[in-house]
Amino acid sequence: MVRIHLDTDFAGDPDDACALAMLLGWPGVDMAGITTVADPDGRRAGYVHRLLEMAGSPDIPVVSGAGASLTTGLAMGSLPDHDRYWGDDPVTPVVSPSGAATGLLRRSVASGATVVAIGPQTNLAMLELDQPGVLTHVQVVAMGGWFGPPADGLPDWGPTHDWNTQRDTRAAATVADRAQLTLVPLSVTVGVHLTRRDLPRLEAAGPLGRVLARQALAYCEDESKSALAADHPGLPTDLLNFHHDPLACAVAAGWSGASRRPLHLAPHLDNGILSFVESAGRPVSVVTAVDSSAFARRWLAAVEHCSRLP
């Protein structure tokens, strides 16, 4: 059994929803709790509750966390149109008291949970600032951490595209300096995809599958993913979205289709942009390659399993 705490900027890019649905259907995963980040009004946590109810798992603890970046003091990200992504039914925000997110994180890590950070790492950094040293023995799997370009034929994205890191560079550096860190970088996640050929199985997977399909189509349109695919031969022509966050969660769950290697990396800040450079820094486990086809199959199977749970 793998115990996981999910820390997420849920309800923006729908890969967070794809990640949570996958974890709920992944055999051997026990969800210790979920905290939201970039969530000043609790709406992200409210959307988490909505998905958990759809999946028949309403009892997993959910707490809304940091709303502003430790680096800039500003809000991080925005939410897309509710009706297009979720339908007409309103979602009730989950507004948690100050300190609730770090409290839930503290209980989760005390129970042995691996923390999967699929948003800015503000909540984790606040936990370390509140209780210095608490992250020293905590396993953190983070989606992000740029230190090299993607393969040929894929979008030539650099560190500025590493949204999770750049929204709060102070938080990312704090976690890198303290935690037992695994990085699942953009250069690898850009190679795993949600595609139009997945839609029939998603739409047959009950209400949860249908909402994931709905969001994928809306996000593809909003972010011009079809045009991106047309410009890059390494992308599938029927691209809907990237499985950035689901891959990070699969790595935390112990999936064997991702290759890792240890590197000595240190965070490096240049004109406000944080990347990682090889140095005599702390050892970091880095995902360097992934079996993309196997992951697409594994993700769909987990979502279908989730939809069949009582």
Nearest CA among 255, 258, 280, 223 for reference residue 29: 255
Q: How many CB atoms lie within 10 A of CB 255?
A: 19
Helix or strand run (H / E) with residue 19: helix 15-24
Alpha helices, H only, 159-205:
163-166, 169-178, 186-189, 199-203
Q: Give Cα 69 to chain centroid, integer Å.
A: 17
Neighbour-count burial of 232, counting CB atoms closer than 10 A to its CB (0-12 exposed, 13-18 middle, 19+ buried): middle
pTM: 0.96
- What is the fold of 2-308? Inosine-uridine Nucleoside N-ribohydrolase; Chain A (3.90.245)
Q: Using 70 as the pLDDT threshold, list the residues of the chain that sit under it.
A: 310
CA nearest neighbour of 55 among 257, 211, 274: 211
The whole-number pLDDT of residue 307 equals: 81
- Structure token digits, residue 148: 């090299």
Residue 49 CB neighbours (<10 A) = 19
The Cα-based distances of 293 to 194, 220, 272 in angstroms read 11, 20, 36
| Pairwise CA distance, residues 110 & 241, whole Å | 35
What confidence score (pLDDT) does residue 310 get?
Answer: 60
